[in-house]
Amino acid sequence: MASERQTREHIRHAFRAFDKSGRGRLGRDGVCLAMTAVLGYEPSRVDVAVVLGLPLDAPAGELQSATVSEDTFVSYMSDKMARMDVSARAADAFDALASASGLGYLTKENCQAALDALGVSTLLELVTADAPGSAVGAPFISLDDVFAEADLDDDGRITRADFLLLASRAAAQTM
In sequence order, what DSSP letters do the residues of 46-93 get, joined into one string?
HHHHHHTT--TT--HHHHHH-EEEHHHHHHHHHHHHHHHHHHHHHHHH
**Per-residue pLDDT tens for 57-68?**
878 788 788 999
Higher pLDDT residue, 35 or 163?
35
Same domain, 70 and 116: no
Same domain, 87 and 165: yes
Same domain, 46 and 111: no
CATH code of the domain containing 51: 1.10.238.10
**Per-residue pLDDT tens for 90-121?**
787 778 777 767 778 888 887 777 677 666 66
- Residue 68 CB: number of other CB atoms within 10 A? 24
- The residue among 49, 78, 107 that closes a domain is 78
Same domain, 134 and 64: no
Total structural domains within the chain: 2
pTM reported for the whole predicted model: 0.56
Domain that holds residue 37: 4-78
Query: What's the pLDDT score for residue 172?
Result: 59
- The residue among 35, 59, 78 that closes a domain is 78
Q: Would you say residue 130 has pLDDT above 90?
A: no
